[in-house]
Every structure is written in structure tokens, then in C-alpha cells.
């Protein structure tokens, strides 16, 4: 498999930035990974806080928190989550796509030592 495709697949299907690390672009790859991890952390925190508020509301109203009720509340909260939540999701998606395209382009340029670059023909001595 060619290096460009391998790098793009690593960034696309495993985690953003992994293709850049595979191509020995460590700062670029780690920056991408950190940005995506921070954004995902914010999303997870938002979902957990929302779920805990919903559970408190159910229990304070005297209801029983069963899985169906929690599932319905989570679906409703995800639809009405606000522009910040949607912006963060869009940010993660853009970072992910950028990482795939960037890894592919870096490998296509043929960095030294990658193994896929074309050798230039030797010039005859004059």
C-alpha cells in the first residue's frame, strides 16, 4: 500500500493526526490530536452534565429513571443542545477531514526517507 493512502487511512479511520505522526510530522500530528481530544472532552463533559441534570429533574419530580426515559431525554437534549455544541462538532469534523487531506498531501509531496518518492535519473558526467 502506498504511503499516502496509508497515512490518510490512519488519520481518517484511526484518529486525526496519526497519519502525520506516521509521516514523521510529530508537531503537526500532536497538535491535531490535542485539538480533537480537547473538543471531544468538551462534548463528553457537556453530555454528562446534561444527563446528570436530567436525572436530577426526574428524581426530584418523583419519577423513576429507567433506560427509556433517559434515552428519550438524551435525544431531546442532543437536538436542543445549542450552537456551541454544534460548533464544536463541526470543528471536530473539520479537523478530521483536514487531517486526512493533509496527511495525503504530505505523503504525495514525497518527503525524504519515505520510500515512495521517485528517484531522479542520474545525470551523465560531462
Residue range(s) defining the domain that contains residue 36: 3-109
Question: Within a domain: residue 122?
Answer: no
- DSSP string over the chain: --HHHHHHHIIIII-TTHHHHHTT-HHHHHHHHHHHHHHHHHHHHHHHHHHHHHHHHHHHTT----HHHHHHHHHHHHHT--HHHHHHHHHHHHHHHHHHHHHHHHHHH--TTSS-SPPPPPPPP-
Q: What's the structural domain count of the chain?
A: 1
Question: Within a domain: residue 24?
Answer: yes
Question: Within a domain: residue 117?
Answer: no
pLDDT confidence of residue 116: 46
Predicted confidence (pLDDT) per residue in 49-75, tens digit: 877 777 787 778 776 767 777 777 767
The structure's pTM equals 0.72
Predicted confidence (pLDDT) per residue in 102-123, tens digit: 999 999 987 555 554 444 445 5
Amino acid at each position: 500500500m502506498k504511503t499516502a493512502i496509508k497515512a490518510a487511512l490512519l488519520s481518517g479511520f484511526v484518529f486525526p493526526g496519526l497519519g502525520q505522526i506516521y509521516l514523521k510530522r510529530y508537531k503537526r500530528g500532536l497538535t491535531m490530536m490535542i485539538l480533537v481530544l480537547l473538543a471531544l472532552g468538551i462534548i463528553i463533559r457537556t453530555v454528562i452534565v446534561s444527563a446528570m441534570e436530567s436525572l436530577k429533574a426526574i428524581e426530584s419530580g418523583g419519577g423513576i429513571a429507567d433506560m427509556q426515559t433517559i434515552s428519550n431525554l438524551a435525544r431531546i437534549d442532543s437536538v436542543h443542545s445549542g450552537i456551541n455544541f454544534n460548533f464544536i462538532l463541526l470543528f471536530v469534523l473539520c479537523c478530521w477531514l483536514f487531517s486526512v487531506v493533509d496527511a495525503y498531501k504530505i505523503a504525495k509531496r514525497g518527503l525524504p526517507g519515505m520510500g515512495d518518492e521517485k528517484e531522479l535519473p542520474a545525470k551523465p558526467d560531462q
